[in-house]
Chains A and B, each alone.
Chain A
């Protein structure tokens, strides 16, 4: 949208300071009354109040995605270590069987190999589950993104309505009205939200659920 309208507006003509002061006061009163009549003031207040919240929401998104990426990379590195161990054990087992299959079985080497494979594959499976669970950031950040976008739209909508009303008649065509067109990020200090699953369970248990 044309938010550079402010730069395009004609500057107020130079007057004596008292006259300028009176004009500013008159315009401010007109602005206030217009915004209140439009119902814009409450919405604008909510939108501007939400700006610090938008910053913390964006910070939350950045943190969540970084955590997810690190979780995945850690799980991949650990899984690769287990995979490398399986490869080495398989190759060693193959050599033993080729060299002396009877001894390989009788000495317990085959059994030990099978047990190690069981253990390693179980660990790798756990890493894969961790990688899958790390994708939960998409759900959480997606909801937060939706809320920030809604806030930005609200703010833009309110400001454009305001500009349409206060812009001088001969400059209104510069504002195109057709251009008008969503998890708890900071639980600290809040008593109306729970911080973890334990608090959910305690709340429900205290009320007999």
Chain B
């Protein structure tokens, strides 16, 4: 699976963080990126369009990242989507909850470009191996 062909949704209530992740994805050759400012908007956006990858924060108003992840995994049309959590939440219980809820990966902020690239590629390789 070539990451440059994929459509990403970046979910975070801070516009600067959405810009940073979008910029990093662009440097990886992923130019097809949309944004959502919270889980509720993200879920509606995902249902309305065809996306291939979700990068989501956890602490957000209206619907947090955990609830978004659970909603995605509960929806037949969306449960196949890989969801990479990118968050300041560093508590072990949150990391485990994300993994048990079906998150494809977990990155703690602050993070580096290399970490994001590594995690995205790792997830895509796993998906390609399963397909």
Contacts and interface: CB of A to CB of B under 8 A. Distances in A.
B96 interface: yes
Interface stretch (A23-31, A148-156, A193-201): A193-201
Which of B88, B90, B111, B112 has the most chain A CB atoms closer than 10 A to its own CB? B90
Given A129-B27, A196-B108, A204-B106, A135 B19 contact: yes
B109 A140 contact: yes
Which of B19, B27, B92, B115 has the most chain A CB atoms closer than 10 A to its own CB? B92
B35 to A, nearest CB: 14
A194 B12 CA distance: 21
Interface string B17-53: 1011001100100000000000000000000000000
Interface string A159-186: 0000000000000000000000011100
Contacts, number: 75
Interface residues of B, number: 28
Contacts of A209: 99
A138 B23 contact: no
Contacts of A140: 88, 109-110
Contact of B17 (A139, A192, A203): A139
A129 B113 contact: yes
B27 A197 contact: no
Given A133-B113, A140-B110, A184 B16 contact: no
Given A187-B90, A192-B91, A200-B95, A132 B14 contact: no
Interface in A30-51: none
A193 B109 contact: no
B16 A192 contact: no
**Chain A interface mostly helix, strand, loop or mixed?**
helix
B59 interface: yes
A14 B107 CA distance: 65
Given A132-B23, A203-B96, A209-B99, A139 B109 contact: yes
Interface of B: 12, 14, 16-17, 19-20, 23-24, 27, 59, 88-93, 95-96, 99, 106-113, 115
Given A200-B106, A207-B99, 15 more contacts: A129-B24, A132-B19, A132-B23, A133-B113, A135-B19, A136-B16, A139-B17, A184-B91, A187-B90, A193-B91, A197-B107, A197-B108, A203-B95, A203-B96, A204-B99
16 contacts: A129-B24, A132-B19, A132-B20, A135-B19, A136-B16, A136-B109, A138-B14, A140-B88, A143-B59, A184-B90, A193-B90, A193-B91, A194-B108, A196-B108, A200-B107, A203-B96
